[in-house]
């Protein structure tokens, strides 16, 4: 329970310092490490037994080594001892590091008391953590012994869910860019095995975007992102949800095949575009502005006219009047079965707007029903010439204006 300290340095400076102050540190085991690879190998093999990694002033790229140690997710305490001439620069570099945060403490070797005090505090935290982990392990063992019937089926169900889930589940190492584990569905979708490059199954154009998303530190429940996976010459559309893994450098990817849904959405978009095109053509046909003679336009109105249609007809008629420099406009209502206040208002507004452009406007084809509705609604058609038929309206144009 004393603790284990890995000392990474080229000489014996830190080792001698620890030996001199052994009484302040309490019982602990020292592991001499001559190079960075040896230190990282020790962290992998020692696991939770690696309590503190002490990096000496003669070690190059000390912050980079500390970052790699943090990325391993072992929970090891990190102390960086720098020389007096480089302490400020190394401390600033450590503070800028995205991975380190406050996981490493930067000390100056010319302040040995501060180094010993920091090492003693780190060992103290490690001893407390060991005691806590021992209590938790004992509680878990007691719980498993008290309820063996419940523990086994639960574990089996979790394994079954992992293996046979209808969505792909994949665990990735973002530092090394490889697959750590995957379930059966993920293997079917991506065609990758454990240890394979993570982006192997993704389309070339999506690999850089995937790497950028994996490099982010996910939090909460990020929205799924769409990717293309090439399987057997067929492009599959996969939604990928990326979440934090069990270590700093791992990510959990949930994969769902949405190819069928994408095909349905594409077909729906195609049909909507077709409907919009048909609607546009219907609208064009519903407002057929005819140039009868030079300077004479005729607008036969067919069907019911609501406020929206009246506004559209007015806009198109005014554009046609300006374009043709029309002197006469005949609005024929023969095809209007019935009217209400909004219909007549729209037609009268259209006629008056045309008059503002200098065109004489005539109404034709007013049926008895339409005339009665105009009277009952009390609408004023004063100043607007009215004719019972289109023939009569055009005859008046020939006689008086053309």
Residues 179-215: tens digit of each pLDDT: 888 888 888 888 888 788 878 778 877 888 888 777 7
Overall residue count recorded for the chain in this entry: 402
Say if residues 202 and 193 touch (Cβ distance below 8 Å): no
Average pLDDT over residues 361-366: 83
What are the residue boundaries of the structural domains of the chain, listed by start?
A: 4-140, 157-261, 287-400
Residues 136, 139: Cα–Cα separation, whole Å: 5
Question: What percent of the chain is modeled with pLDDT above 70?
Answer: 86
Q: In sequence order, what are the residues at sequence separation of 6 or more whose Cβ sits closer than 8 angstroms to the Cβ of residue 162?
A: 169, 183
Please provide the CATH number assigned to the domain covering 4-140. Answer: 3.40.50.2300
Average pLDDT over residues 214-219: 66
Please provide the CATH number assigned to the domain covering 287-400. Answer: 3.30.750.24
Q: Going along 214-339, which residue ranges are E strands?
A: 225-231, 234-244, 250-257, 290-293, 296-302, 328-335
Average pLDDT over residues 32-43: 86
DSSP class of 201: G
Nearest to 331 by CA among 358, 313, 357: 313
Residues 4, 117: Cα–Cα separation, whole Å: 16
Q: What is the pLDDT of residue 401?
A: 62
Residues 317, 279: Cα–Cα separation, whole Å: 19
**Beta strands 77-82; 104-108: pairing state:** parallel
Identify the band that residue 150 occupies on the pLDDT scale cut at 50, 70 and 90. Answer: very low
Please provide the CATH number assigned to the domain covering 157-261. Answer: 3.30.450.20
- The pTM assigned to this predicted structure is 0.37
Give the neighbor-by-neighbor strand order of the sheet with 52-55: 29-33, 4-8, 52-55, 77-82, 104-108
């Amino acid at each position: 329970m004393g603790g284990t300290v890995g000392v990474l340095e080229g000489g014996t400076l830190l080792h001698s310092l620890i030996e001199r102050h052994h009484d302040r540190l309490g019982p602990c085991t020292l592991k001499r490490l001559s190079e960075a690879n040896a230190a990282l190998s020790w962290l992998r093999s020692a696991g939770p037994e690696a309590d503190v990694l002490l990096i000496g002033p003669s070690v190059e790229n000390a912050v980079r080594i500390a970052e790699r140690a943090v990325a391993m997710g072992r929970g090891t305490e990190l102390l960086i001892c720098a020389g007096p001439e480089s302490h400020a620069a190394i401390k600033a570099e450590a503070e800028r590091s995205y991975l380190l945060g406050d996981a490493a403490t930067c000390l100056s070797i010319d302040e040995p008391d501060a180094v010993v005090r920091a090492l003693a505090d780190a060992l103290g935290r490690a001893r407390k953590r060991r005691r806590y982990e021992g209590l938790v392990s004992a509680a878990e063992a007691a719980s498993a012994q008290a309820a063996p019937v419940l523990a086994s089926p639960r574990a089996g169900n979790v394994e079954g869910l992992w293996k046979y889930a209808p969505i792909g589940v994949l665990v990735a190492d973002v530092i090394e860019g490889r697959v750590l584990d995957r379930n059966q569905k993920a293997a079917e979708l991506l065609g990758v095995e454990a240890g394979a490059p993570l982006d192997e199954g993704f389309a070339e154009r999506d690999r850089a975007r995937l790497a950028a998303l994996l490099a982010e530190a996910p939090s909460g429940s990020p929205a799924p992102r769409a990717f293309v996976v090439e399987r057997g010459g067929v492009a599959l559309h996969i939604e990928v949800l990326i979440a934090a893994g069990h270590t700093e450098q791992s990510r959990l990817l949930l994969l769902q095949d949405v190819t069928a849904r994408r095909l349905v959405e594409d077909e729906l978009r195609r049909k909507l575009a077709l409907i919009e095109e048909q609607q546009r053509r219907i609208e064009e046909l519903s407002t057929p502005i005819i140039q009868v003679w030079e300077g004479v336009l005729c607008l036969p109105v067919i069907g019911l006219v609501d406020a929206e249609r009246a506004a559209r007809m007015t806009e198109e008629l005014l554009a046609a009047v300006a374009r043709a420099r029309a002197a006469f406009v005949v609005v024929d209502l023969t095809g209007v079965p019935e009217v209400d206040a909004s219909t007549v208002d729209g037609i009268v507004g259209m006629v008056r707007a045309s008059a503002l452009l200098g065109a004489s406007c005539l109404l034709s084809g007013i049926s008895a029903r339409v005339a009665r509705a105009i009277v009952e609604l009390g609408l004023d058609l004063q100043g607007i010439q009215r004719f019972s038929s289109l023939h009569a309206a055009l005859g008046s144009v020939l006689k008086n204006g053309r």
